[in-house]
C-alpha cells in the first residue's frame, strides 16, 4: 500500500443522501477512506439502502468497513427490517443475561442482512445519580457488575453471529454533566475510582475479545498530564492505558470528531492527527465532505512530516484489515427482516424492565374492574414533532389508536385521549389542567421534563388538579425529581412501544 492508501484506511466517513453521487465517489477515491457510517438520512427503502452500499463499493472496486449506530431503544437508524428492542436501562433492570445474548444474536442476523459489519454498541457507561444528558437510558444502569454482565452477553451474541460489536464510551461517560455532542464535559475521577466502577464493564468486554472500542470526548482531569486535554487526544488514556495496561488488542475508534466537544476547540485538520497520535485506529467524521477532505490532508501531512510514526500506522492498518477479513461477504443471505421471535423477546425484556417508582399512596397497582366505575383520560406527547430527528415507530404516530389498544387489553375504555405538545405552551397547559378536573383518573405520559419547562409546568398543574394522577415516564427516570411522592409513577425506561405497553401493564398488574 502507498502512504495515501494506509492513511485512508484510518478514516470513516458519513455521507448525505440516499444515493451514491459522483461527488461521494470522488471523496472516497481522493481520501482512500476505508470506512462508511450510515444514518437514518441514508435510508429510503430496503432496496435503496442495499444499493447505496453496493454501488459505492463497486465504484471504488474495494471493500469498505460499514457501520451503524444501532443501540436499540432511542438510538435506531434503520426504520424497518429490524426488531425494535427496548433501551439498555430496561434490559439492565430485567437483568437476564441470556436474554441480552439472544438480543445480540438477533441484531447480528438482522444487521448482517443489511450489509453492516460493525454495530457501534453496546453502551457500557455506568450511570450515577446525576442527570446525564448524553447517556441516560442508553446505559444498563448504575451497577458496574450488571452493566458488564449485560454488555458482555450482548457482545457475545452479536459476535457469535458474525457482527462486530463496539464497546463505548471508554473510559466511561456516565458522570458527564454536559453532552459531548454540544460541548466539552470534564470528569474529575481518578484512575483508582474509574477502576472501581466505570472501567469494570470494559474489562469484561475485553475478556470477551470485543472487536472494537469507542473512546469518549470528555476531559478526565485526573488522568492525563495535561488536565485540559480531551480523552480523544490523550495518549496516556488511549495508547498507554487502553493498549498497554489493559491489553486491548482490537480496533480503537474515536467518537465523531465533528461533535461540539472537539469542533469548538480545534479544526478537523488538527483533530484527526491528534486522535491518531493518541492511539486510535479509526477516526469518525460523520458529515461535511469539505471537513472530511481536510481530515485526510491533515493526517497525510502529519505522517509526511514524521509527526506520526510509520510503524504505528502499519500496526494500526493491520488491526483494521484483520477486522475487515472477518466478514466473508457483504450481505447475509435473505432479505432484511426482523428475526422470528424478536418482537416477543423485546416484549419480554420490556416487561422485565418496567418498574413502579411511586405507588401514589396505594393508587397502583389498579384493579381494572374498579376502573369501570370511573371516568378515565390519557395525555400523550406528540412524538411526530421529533420524528425527523429520532425514529418513532408508526404505531406511536397514531397515538390515540395505540393507547386505545393497550388499555382495552384490560377492558378499560378511555373517555378522552389528548395529544399534547412536547413542550406545552401556557394556553395548552391551562386546557389540560381543566381536563384533569373532570375525570376521576388521568394517565399522563411524560417526556423529557428535564429539557422542557412546559412539561415541568404541566406536571405541576396536573398534580394540583383534583383527579387522581398516574405518570408514566417515557424518557429519563431523573424526571422523577418533579413527581410528588403522593403521585403514582411508573416507567419502562424508554418510549418504544414495547416499553410503554410494559409500563401500562405494570400499573394494572400486582407484584
Active site residues: 181, 255
Give dist(CA 193, CA 210) in Å, integer: 23
Cell 497525510 locates to 300
Q: Edge-to-edge strands of the sheet including 35-38?
A: 251-253, 212-215, 164-170, 118-119, 65-68, 35-38, 11-14, 283-285
Give dist(CA 200, CA 218) in Å, integer: 19
Burial degree of 235 (CB within 10 A; 0-12, 13-18, 19+) = middle
Name residue 473's beta-bridge partners.
446, 491
Burial degree of 45 (CB within 10 A; 0-12, 13-18, 19+) = exposed
Residues 6 or more apart whose CB falls under 8 angstroms from that of 210 comprise 155, 159, 165, 166, 167, 250
For the CA atoms of the chain, what is the radius of gyration?
24
Give dist(CA 392, CA 410) in Å, integer: 25
Closest CA to 83 of 321, 453, 347: 347
- In 3-state terms the chain splits into helix, strand, coil percentages (rounded to 5) of 45, 15, 40
Backbone φ, ψ for residue 113 (5° rounding):
-65, -25
Bridging pattern class, strands 164-170 and 118-119: parallel
Residues 6 or more apart whose CB falls under 8 angstroms from that of 344 comprise none
Amino acid at each position: 500500500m502507498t502512504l495515501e492508501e494506509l492513511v485512508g484506511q484510518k478514516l470513516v466517513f458519513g455521507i448525505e443522501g440516499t444515493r451514491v453521487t459522483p461527488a461521494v465517489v470522488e471523496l472516497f477515491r481522493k481520501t482512500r477512506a476505508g470506512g462508511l457510517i450510515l444514518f437514518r438520512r441514508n435510508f429510503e427503502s430496503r432496496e435503496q439502502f442495499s444499493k447505496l452500499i453496493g454501488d459505492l463499493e463497486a465504484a471504488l472496486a474495494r471493500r469498505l468497513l460499514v457501520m451503524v449506530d444501532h443501540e436499540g431503544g432511542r438510538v435506531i437508524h434503520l426504520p424497518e427490517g429490524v426488531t425494535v428492542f427496548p433501551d439498555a436501562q430496561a434490559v439492565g433492570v430485567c437483568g437476564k443475561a441470556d436474554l441480552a445474548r439472544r438480543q445480540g444474536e438477533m441484531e447480528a442476523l438482522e444487521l448482517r442482512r443489511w450489509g453492516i459489519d460493525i454495530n457501534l454498541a453496546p453502551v457500557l457507561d455506568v450511570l450515577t445519580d446525576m442527570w446525564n444528558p448524553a447517556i441516560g437510558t442508553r446505559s444498563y444502569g448504575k451497577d458496574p457488575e450488571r452493566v458488564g454482565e449485560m454488555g458482555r452477553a450482548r457482545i457475545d451474541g452479536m459476535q457469535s453471529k458474525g457482527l462486530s460489536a463496539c464497546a463505548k464510551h471508554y473510559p466511561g461517560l456516565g458522570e458527564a454533566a454536559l453532552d459531548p455532542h454540544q460541548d466539552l464535559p470534564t470528569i474529575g475521577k481518578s484512575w483508582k475510582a474509574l477502576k472501581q466502577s466505570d472501567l469494570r464493564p470494559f474489562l469484561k468486554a475485553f475478556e470477551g475479545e470485543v472487536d472494537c472500542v469507542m473512546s469518549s470526548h470528555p476531559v478526565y482531569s485526573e488522568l492525563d498530564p495535561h488536565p485540559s486535554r480531551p480523552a480523544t487526544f490523550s495518549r496516556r488514556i488511549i495508547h498507554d492505558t487502553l493498549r498497554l495496561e489493559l491489553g486491548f488488542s482490537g480496533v480503537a475508534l474515536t467518537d465523531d470528531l465533528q461533535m461540539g466537544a472537539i469542533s469548538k476547540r480545534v479544526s478537523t485538520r488538527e483533530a484527526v492527527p491528534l486522535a491518531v497520535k493518541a492511539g486510535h485506529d479509526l477516526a469518525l467524521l460523520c458529515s461535511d465532505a469539505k471537513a472530511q477532505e481536510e481530515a485526510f490532508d491533515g493526517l497525510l501531512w502529519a505522517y509526511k512530516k514524521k509527526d506520526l510514526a510509520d510503524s504505528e500506522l502499519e500496526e494500526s492498518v493491520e488491526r483494521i484489515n484483520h477486522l475487515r477479513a472477518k466478514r466473508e461477504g457483504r450481505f447475509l443471505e435473505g432479505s432484511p427482516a426482523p428475526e422470528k421471535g424478536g418482537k416477543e423477546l423485546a416484549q419480554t425484556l420490556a416487561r422485565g424492565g418496567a418498574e413502579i417508582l411511586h405507588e401514589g399512596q396505594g393508587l397502583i397497582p389498579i384493579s381494572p374492574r374498579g376502573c369501570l366505575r370511573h371516568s378515565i383520560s390519557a395525555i400523550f406527547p406528540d412524538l411526530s414533532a421529533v420524528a425527523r430527528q429520532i425514529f418513532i415507530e408508526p404505531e406511536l404516530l397514531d397515538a390515540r389508536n395505540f393507547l386505545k389498544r393497550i388499555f382495552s387489553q384490560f377492558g378499560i375504555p378511555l373517555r378522552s385521549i389528548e395529544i399534547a405538545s412536547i413542550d406545552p405552551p401556557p394556553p395548552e397547559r391551562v386546557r389540560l389542567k381543566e381536563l384533569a378536573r373532570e375525570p376521576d383518573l388521568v394517565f399522563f405520559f411524560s417526556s423529557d421534563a428535564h429539557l422542557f419547562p412546559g412539561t415541568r409546568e404541566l406536571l405541576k398543574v396536573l398534580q394540583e388538579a383534583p383527579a387522581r394522577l398516574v405518570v408514566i415516564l417515557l424518557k429519563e427516570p431523573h424526571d422523577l425529581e418533579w413527581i410528588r411522592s403522593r403521585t403514582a409513577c411508573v416507567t419502562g425506561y424508554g418510549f418504544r412501544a414495547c416499553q410503554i405497553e410494559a409500563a401500562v401493564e405494570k400499573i394494572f398488574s400486582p407484584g
